[in-house]
Amino acid sequence: MKTLLKSIPIGFCLICLGFQTFQITCSREKEFDAKEVQNERTFPESKTLEPSILLLLDSLQLKKEDISIHIDKSDYRLYAMADTVIVKTYPVVFGTNPVDDKLMQGDRSTPEGGFSVRAFYPHTTWSKFIWIDYPTTESWEKHNKAKAENKIPKDAKIGGEIGIHGVPKGHSNLIKQKQNWTWGCISLTNKDVNDLYTVVYRGMPITITK
């Protein structure tokens, strides 16, 4: 995360501790197979009870409309931001090709750029689904440029229905162990996606970088 971002003071945290579709889509991931994902790095276990994001907003006298999302593919983190202040962070994982920017359907990459929340709803497999507005105009420009430069097939489709969601029941270890398992979506534990979901609104700004 860029150094210009500020985090909530430690003292504040201690106080708080006192208290549809395209052909291949991420919301219809192919049948989940934990054997296909590779174990990369592991998030350290938190030994403290973290306050909910709603409690943090209330303590900061903020509304959910003040919040935007920044996702950093390099450090596997989702940041709930109020301007340059980090309100809360969540560990996340990505598509099975986590390094590259998404250029076409089926490349299993997570797109980069500026997006917004298109819709959000409960999901029978991944608890919640927060649908982002990929592909954007910028996404189409990248897609068409890649075709012109013969980086992707001429008949490649751009794909769609990328979102932020949870994990199959009983597979929270996918997040802890940084196993990139999706077809391009951003995945959190179900506990974390449920927490984040409480402040999501249509049009919420989202940036994804690496």
- Active-site amino acid positions: 165, 185
- The total of other beta-carbon atoms located within 10 Å of residue 202's CB is 10
Whether residue 135 has a cis bond before it, omega within 30° of 0: yes
Token readout for 206 is: 């989202």
- Find where tokens 């008949």 sit: 155
Sheet holding 205-209, edge to edge: 6-7, 85-91, 77-82, 67-72, 205-209, 113-123, 127-132, 163-165, 186-187
Task: Please give the Cα distance from 71 to 74 (Å, whole number).
Answer: 9
